[in-house]
Structure 1
Amino acid sequence: MKASIPTNLAQDFLEKLGFSPEEIKLYLTLAQSGQATLLATARNSGIERTKLYRLIEDLKEKGIIEEVPQFKRKTIKAADLSTIELLVKEKERQAKFLTTTYPSFAESLKDISKPFPGNNVIYYKGKEGMRQMAWHILRCKGLFRTYSYCFWNDILGDAFVLKLNQELVERKFQVHDLYSDEYIKFKKNWLKNGKRRPEGNWAFWDSRYLPEKLVTVHLNIDIYNDVVAYYYWEGEEIFGVEIYNERVANIQKQIHDVLWKMSKKKPHIMWTDHGLK
């Protein structure tokens, strides 16, 4: 089935509703072909007949495929849009329920959860792992110390970074961010390649410059609570490490504070106005 722009939109929509790629292929095949026999559906969709039978039964149960009585032949068709609309409304109801009940759920989980071990090292891999690490900074109590080497958008994606930014603003984060010439080079190349500047309100993000004769910042590093988190991405190699240890975190905080006093503001890299001038 050749994908067109509307079909791509439909695929994304159905995926958000929770359907698998094969279920989406089957539904869209029937939506395009109309009422069809099982043989014709298998041919049009490219789905093996053994798989097709199972998919048909699953989608009949979900209500988006209907069986049409025909003499001597089993014929199926895609359900009309009112059925999809009902599924959307059910998703909305579920989302509203989850949003409303989350505070109670979080409180109850705190009561039954065991405290996180005082000393631990956790390894993360891939972009999703980096997103988990970045989201963990929302646990920060007090000053958030960090070293910047690249824009978060480079690895976490624009939508995720914007959502994280909104959470940081809402929680009134206090930030001390240190960067060196490596970060400035990254920013220049980012703009040179025609990429857009990071969205969101970054006026709260306090950044200072360290000359490379003092230190070269070539990793993104976060320091908060009793945690030191290291992010590394270079080409296809993407991983990170969180170290949970009070002494390790305290010494890193002291080092960061000393470097902060030695650093200075750079007008061209201020984080106001989305962080770029």
Structure 2
Amino acid sequence: MNNKPSLSGQAADFLHHLGLNSQEIRVFQALSRSGPVSLLELSRLCGINRTTLYRVVEGMKTKSIVEEQVEEYRRKVVVAPPQIIEMLVKKEEERASFLTKNIRPFIDLLTGTAVKSQPGTKVLFYRGSDGIKQQCWNTLQAQKECMGFTYRMFEEIVSRKFALSWRDEWLKKPRYFYELYSDSLLESKKNPQVQPVTYASAFFQERYIPACVFNLNHQIDVYNDVVSIYNWHEGETFGIEIYNHKIADFYKQIFWVLWKMGKKI
């Protein structure tokens, strides 16, 4: 057997990120010290019984981490050569690149259902509090501004911690969030069980529109070419995003008419 030095903690961490579990790392470490050995010898080196070891080695062979050699009618296990490890790393890089490029479509499928419509139009449907969080986070894609018809406090459904994270992300770019407050919002702020987030910044501006002027009974955000509608009341939690320039422009016009009628807070 060879007397090679054992793998460092850094190398073990590398193997972990390559997808090896703790038993597989133990086997790899033993093989890196010993060189080619039989399963019986490897079992003694690792302290893993042969039945379990056989299953572990088969899994490692599937991952191409180890190989099997035949020497004088004896089967031995050996670590894969460096070029194989490099190839595995390249595959991981390609996998990571694919995941990065496709994370957005996957989230759309996971939290919403895309509905085909006219060219240039996309409609997404969301369910549950996680869906509402995703919609809320999507407003961070706003280029210059976002206009909110604010019915109730978001902290009721997305949690204060999430709202704080969203606020901090919003302030990383010079853009404005304009909000029209409803009577229901002002009433919900009195709820002692919900601690509202403070948006003390020139980039957040609010005005109050009384119900006698306009009965604001839904939460709506408008940004870029997107109209995002939220609902988490009366036992239902869902949301809809509409990606359409004309529809977004229509809601923006309504917003600015009401904004001029609103009272500064």
SS at match of 2:179: strand
Residues 123-155 of structure 1: CA deviation (Å, up to 9, x unaligned): 011111111111111111223111112222221
Equivalent position to 2:181, from 179, 182, 194: 179
Aligned to 1:60: 23
Aligned to 1:243: 242
Measured after TM superposition, the shift of residue 196 of structure 1 is: 2.7
SS at match of 2:227: strand
Aligned 8 A contact 2:160 2:195 in 1? no
Segments of structure 2 that go 5 or more residues without pairing to the other structure are: 1-15, 27-42, 53-96, 105-118
Could you say if the C-alpha distance between residues 232 and 138 of structure 1 is closer, same or farther in structure 2, counting changes exceeding 3 Å?
Answer: same
Residues 153-183 of structure 1: CA deviation (Å, up to 9, x unaligned): 2211222211111111111221221012111
Q: Which structure has the larger Rg over C-alpha atoms?
A: 2
Segments of structure 1 that go 5 or more residues without pairing to the other structure are: 1-16, 19-56, 75-101, 110-116, 267-277
1:127 and 1:59 map into 2 onto residues whose CA distance is 36
The equivalences for 1:1-277 within 5 A come to 58-61=21-24, 69=47, 118-189=120-191, 192-193=192-193, 195-198=194-197, 201-234=200-233, 236-266=235-265
Measured after TM superposition, the shift of residue 246 of structure 1 is: 1.2
The structure carrying a bigger helix percent of its residues is: 1
Could you say if the C-alpha distance between residues 236 and 244 of structure 1 is closer, same or farther in structure 2, counting changes exceeding 3 Å?
Answer: same
Measured after TM superposition, the shift of residue 201 of structure 1 is: 4.8
Indicate the percent of aligned positions where both proteins have the same amino acid: 33
SS at match of 2:216: coil
1:62 and 1:123 map into 2 onto residues whose CA distance is 44
Amino acid at match of 1:253: K
Measured after TM superposition, the shift of residue 238 of structure 1 is: 1.0
Measured after TM superposition, the shift of residue 60 of structure 1 is: 2.6
Could you say if the C-alpha distance between residues 225 and 60 of structure 1 is closer, same or farther in structure 2, counting changes exceeding 3 Å?
Answer: same
1:220 and 1:260 map into 2 onto residues whose CA distance is 16
Aligned 8 A contact 1:149 1:186 in 2? no
Aligned 8 A contact 1:166 1:200 in 2? no
Task: Give the TM-score, by structure 1 length.
Answer: 0.53
SS at match of 2:215: coil
2:175 and 2:232 map into 1 onto residues whose CA distance is 25
Aligned to 2:79: none
SS at match of 2:130: helix
